Amino acid sequence: MKVGFIGLGIMGKPMSKNLLKKGHEVVVFDFNKAAVEEVVACGGVAVESSAEVAALCDQIITMVPNSPHVRAVVFGEKGIAETAKPGTTLIDMSSIDPVESQKIGAELEKLGVDMLDAPVSGGEPKAIDGTLSVMVGGKKETFEKYYDLLMCMAGSVTYVGELGAGNIAKLANQIVVAVNISAVAEALSFAKKCGADPELVYKAIRGGLAGSTVMDAKAPMMINHNFKPGFRIELHIKDLNNALNAAHAVSAPVPLTGQLMEMMQALKCDGAEKDDHSALLKYYEKIGNITI
């Protein structure tokens, strides 16, 4: 299958490489020329704009930071809408506001272009090894058509509902992940403050009910003070902002999400926005006057 891929960042680059590994022809565009060259070295074909991608491909994946970036890629100058043919499908794998997904989809429908919102969870490690979790919204028949393509980059691909439902699921995921990381950081800080070894406490509780994928991924990073980003705090702030906006639009109470947003904003003020979200530990270290 000939696939267009727009957005070769920390996630998009390895995702596009996995499509190439599975035998697909991949046409790529990104403003980061070094990232483009890296994918081209793996067999990708480079073009100079999103419009060129759409002119060559009937199925296009976008993986960009947020709602305005998706809209710019689709409807901006030299965007997808300029050259997309009726029957084209856009699979937006960015994590954006679900309301904006629905608006973009409605505008594309007038051009005869179908759309899925298919955000991912798993961060850079799972993007690299092709085991991402993908949450998909859109027409069921379109989902079924592209299920195998999405599985080239994923360990699981789940249909959630109509367009926008994928991003609703992703925001729910991000709420759970943020609260879980914070709980791990709080527990390790508590252990340290009480005089116990945080690493031994982690080993003691990871096999019980407190254990989780988040704990096993993030507790060792906290213990080793390794905050190399798999998923940056600034991106989690973006997701929580979208979650808060979506929640407020339907009067859904999300008090823990609000608290986590303020904690992450405090870390941003301290210059830690480029750190992995496991750096929530730094918030506890600062207010508790400790170092794990």
CATH at 131: 3.40.50.720
Identified catalytic residue from 13, 17, 126, 170: 170
- Let me know whether 11 and 140 are in one domain: yes
- Let me know whether 84 and 128 are in one domain: yes
Which of 145, 161, 177 is the last residue before a domain boundary?
Answer: 161
* Residue scoring higher pLDDT (182 or 231): 182
Q: How confident is the model at residue 11 (pLDDT cuts 50, 70, 90)?
A: very high
* Mean pLDDT, residues 184-199 taken together: 98
Q: Does 110 have pLDDT greater than 90?
A: yes
Which of 161, 179, 214 is the last residue before a domain boundary?
Answer: 161
- Let me know whether 205 and 116 are in one domain: no
Which of 101, 126, 161 is the last residue before a domain boundary?
Answer: 161
Contacts of 111 (CB under 8 A, 6+ apart): 81, 84, 86
- Let me know whether 128 and 237 are in one domain: no
- Let me know whether 86 and 229 are in one domain: no
Q: What value does the CA radius of gyration of the chain take, rounded to a whole number of Å?
A: 20
Q: In this predicted structure, what is the pLDDT of residue 33?
A: 96
- Let me know whether 7 and 130 are in one domain: yes
Q: In this predicted structure, what is the pLDDT of residue 125?
A: 87
- Let me know whether 148 and 215 are in one domain: no
Q: How confident is the model at residue 231 (pLDDT cuts 50, 70, 90)?
A: confident
- Let me know whether 155 and 245 are in one domain: no
Could you report the per-residue pLDDT of 133-163, keeping only the tens digit for each?
A: 999 999 999 999 999 999 999 999 999 999 9
- Let me know whether 153 and 172 are in one domain: no
98: containing domain: 2-161
Active site (annotated) includes residue 170: yes
Q: In this predicted structure, what is the pLDDT of residue 222?
A: 98
DSSP string computed for 150-184:
HHTTEEEEEEEESTTHHHHHHHHHHHHHHHHHHHH
Single pTM value for the model: 0.89
Q: Give the CATH number for residue 212.
A: 1.10.1040.10
In this structure, the number of other CB atoms found within 10 A of the CB of residue 128 comes to 18
How many Cα atoms sit within 13 Å of 5 on the Cβ side? 30
- Let me know whether 13 and 134 are in one domain: yes
- The position carrying tokens 């005089």 is 195
Q: Does 123 have pLDDT greater than 90?
A: no
In this structure, the number of other CB atoms found within 10 A of the CB of residue 270 comes to 13
